[in-house]
Structure 1
């Protein structure tokens, strides 16, 4: 198993990566702080005095403005492949009153910035429902059904992926290399010379191996998708400490 295109787009636009907003018929793009709420709707936190606030100001007689959120993946480590780029678009409108307060709670669940306390004074919250989604990778652009996008969930490990990879490389390199060699049928080259994990998600590990100049990659799937960091740790423990279970059973 591996993430679906809809899940990848939801992961990219969830709010952990920098985003740009393009506003129809206005100069841009504009850097923006954004998240997505549990339904996949995009929330934009915009300073009142900014070019983006001016661009999102509706024309006479309207209350919504066509906007596109553009997010590029940042690989978590050197040599790791990127997940690509996501564009999601819809009609942005400013939120007021109870809607703004509820949206601020959704925003804080992803990014608990203190600027949310100033929504209505120094900042405004805008929201749009995604009516079009696209995913670009390796020069190919794929359209994602808005319904599939709304039903998908962002990967729970993506926010901590870089830290997890660093921890595996620093504290478990020898055990992990041995495990990967067994799974891939390779001769164990030892820590630093064997295969290494370059990406991970709720479905499994992406492993890089091969001779210098002849890189290869393989995907190792987990028995079941993991729900969070704690479940991943429980899953990896017997892989990295294969004798732990024996010792525990003997005690």
Structure 2
């Protein structure tokens, strides 16, 4: 059985490892990475890097490489590839599962301000603070480029490309992050507002705790929905069980 994992996340790497451990030679696992990170953490098994050429290109790849099941384990905000995966799976008659870590939930003392897009998040900022910790990744910074009165600390794995805010310092770092480390970032840079996407997971959650402790408002960009009709697993273990079901179906 050939499984294609659209990856790039910790959950995708964990799932690839679980399938190798549990299924062994019964399952061939190929992980696909978008190639946007210069030095990605590679999962076990076969790896391909780069795009497919849209939904039609992905459907063609599924047929050519005789893929039996597709798992979309991309970042919760990788909207385009998720919708391409849904269309491609339908066209190629391949079962599809979306692996999505649960989103964050505000706790007592949190000062969250939800936004439906980066543009909406940028519009909220002038009323909330002047020194912004921007943790939405290096893509989409154009939404904040016109906020000349604000200062930004932008954290990402790789350096961003313009357009981006004129008054911006770049912090190149990769999670997981510690609570003490996040406290230090807020103190050192005198941050008074945090911007994040609702990525979920534990690797980058400490910044939310640090912001709560400091009484700092947090602009949280809501994640896009999973395409209609696509089954969802919350953990790599659930996704591995789903694969086990299909292995049983094929072998039966």
* TM-score, length-scaled by structure 1: 0.27
Larger radius of gyration: 1
Higher fraction of strand: 1
* TM-score, length-scaled by structure 2: 0.27
